[in-house]
Amino acid sequence: MARRVRSARCVALLSTSLASVGSLQAGSLPAFATQPASTPTTPGVVNIGPSSESRTRPALPDATTVSKGLPVSMTAATADQEKRYWAIERARASAEKNLQRLVHDHFQNGNKLVRQAGYAKIRQYTDSSLFPLMVSILRHEERDVQEVLLDHFAEQRTDDADAMLAWLTIFDKNSWIAKESQLRLLSRNAAWKKAEKKTGTPKGLSAPEAVTSVVLAGLSNKEDATIRLAGSVARSMKLYEIIPALIQAQLGQVGPAAGGGGPSISSGTGSGYRVDDGSGIAWILIGRQVAYVADLTPVVASNAVAFDPQLDVVIEGVVIRVIDAVVYAYRIEIHNQLLGLAGDAAGRPLDALGWDQAKWQRWWKDDMQPRLAARGSADEP
């Protein structure tokens, strides 16, 4: 039953995940601060692991109701939430100071033994809510420290740590960190594939939802480089549930639609009417100029007469007025990744679908979606 529920959630991932990951944008780290710790507390290290409820500071009543330092209408539960909020903030501030002290004490000199002691201390931080903080503090150190940090994430074998590797692969601007993170993420992907054989999880549906959410956020990003990296991760990890997002990403709008002053709906009675003000965002003329005599003035003199012609030019041809325009980008790399991933899922080439979004969506709805649902229930008794 657990596998059936998971598969149904994966099949419907496009409609649900895009709304849930709207807050995960490029340049911001994953919000692991709202997740509980998944490993036991390590002596000497602050493990916070709050819930989303405790990480959100509760709203307080109006200040006019405050009495004896607390609002009169504040319940015991709300007061407890407020206390937990500030306890978590103090713990995070303490962890930040400890990490900065670790950098100062162990990574400011080249002593090998001192640095190795620092490596051991990095591995003591197992609380996923501290992963973004660790990245922001240690990312500017030497590569040996960065390698230890990335290895530490891979060794955790948790969804949050894997999502952190996925975020660094797709969004980090340091190409070396992105490449090394992807290598470790692919290694973890191999572990998922082994696990799916043991548990009977449907092929292509074994990636943690935290990872697929990061990939979806990358595909919905505005930067082409980020979209390409997200597509590469989806292809290399065979994330079949990401196919609908790849369908949307292969054809992207470069900029907002530009409109001229052409026909527009005017405020009037009834159902409305259109008024053309004659303007446009561009004019294209295909024609030729023909000279003709527009006027002829006679000049009379003694025993003589002459004519003074006035020439003018007339244009014959076609004038095209561009009223509105929308520019789309054909992302060839994403299209090729879509063809490869969808072809693997379908077991046959899908080149005939081309760039037709409607055909791709019909194929996903009528062919692939039922197939994934069938895979999810195939092993059920």
| pLDDT tens, residue order, the chain (381 aa) | 444 434 444 444 444 443 443 444 444 555 444 443 343 333 333 333 333 334 444 443 343 333 344 444 445 557 788 888 888 888 889 889 999 999 998 988 778 899 999 999 999 998 888 899 899 999 888 899 999 999 999 998 888 999 999 999 999 988 899 999 999 998 888 777 666 655 555 444 557 888 889 999 999 888 888 999 999 998 888 888 889 999 989 987 665 555 555 454 444 444 445 566 777 888 898 999 999 988 888 888 888 888 888 899 998 999 898 887 777 788 999 999 999 998 888 888 888 888 988 999 999 988 888 877 776 554 443
Claim to verify: residue 236 and residue 285 sit in the same structural domain: no
- The domain in which residue 154 lies consists of 2-63+70-252
Q: How far apart are CA 357 and CA 67, in angstroms?
A: 61
Residue 166 covered by a domain? yes
Tokens linked to 261: 């002053």
At 161, the amino acid letter reads A
What was the pLDDT predicted at 72? 43
Give the strand pairing for 282-301 and 304-322.
antiparallel
Rounded-to-10 torsion of CA 311, 313, 314, 315? 170
Q: Which residues contact 338 (CB under 8 A, 6 or more apart)?
A: 231, 243, 246, 247, 250, 360
Claim to verify: residue 54 and residue 136 sit in the same structural domain: yes
Residue 226 covered by a domain? yes
- For residue 298, list its beta bridge partners: 307
Would you say 18 and 245 are in contact if contact means Cβ atoms under 8 Å apart? yes
Residue 74 covered by a domain? yes
Q: Which residues contact 53 (CB under 8 A, 6 or more apart)?
A: 81
Residue 371 covered by a domain? no
What was the pLDDT predicted at 16? 42
> Please, what is the Cα angle at 352 between 346 and 354, to 5 degrees?
105
What was the pLDDT predicted at 97? 92
Residue ending a domain, among 202, 222, 252, is: 252
Tokens linked to 246: 């790849």
Residue ending a domain, among 284, 305, 325, is: 325
Claim to verify: residue 243 and residue 291 sit in the same structural domain: no
Residue 336 covered by a domain? no
Please give the C-alpha separations between residue 198 and each of 157, 280, 300, in angstroms, as whole numbers.
17, 64, 111
Tokens linked to 94: 């303490």
Report the 10 Å Cβ neighbour count for 57. 13
Claim to verify: residue 299 and residue 192 sit in the same structural domain: no
Q: Which of 167, 173, 218 is nearest to 29 (CA)?
A: 167
Claim to verify: residue 316 and residue 199 sit in the same structural domain: no
Claim to verify: residue 165 and residue 40 sit in the same structural domain: yes
Claim to verify: residue 146 and residue 290 sit in the same structural domain: no
Residue 319 covered by a domain? yes
Residue 368 covered by a domain? no
Residue ending a domain, among 284, 306, 325, is: 325
pTM, entire model:
0.62
Claim to verify: residue 148 and residue 286 sit in the same structural domain: no
Claim to verify: residue 145 and residue 292 sit in the same structural domain: no
Q: Which of 219, 176, 179, 197 is nearest to 26 (CA)?
A: 219
Tokens linked to 253: 């709008």
Claim to verify: residue 312 and residue 227 sit in the same structural domain: no
Q: What are phi and psi of 177, to 5 degrees?
A: -60, -40
Q: Which residues contact 290 (CB under 8 A, 6 or more apart)?
A: 313, 314, 315, 316
What was the pLDDT predicted at 370? 83
Q: How far apart are CA 153 and CA 135, in angstroms?
A: 10
Claim to verify: residue 242 and residue 316 sit in the same structural domain: no
Claim to verify: residue 183 and residue 59 sit in the same structural domain: yes
Helices marked H in the chain: 2-11, 13-20, 52-55, 76-106, 112-122, 131-138, 143-156, 159-171, 175-199, 209-219, 224-236, 243-249, 332-346, 357-363, 369-377
Residue 359 covered by a domain? no
Count how many domains the chain has: 2
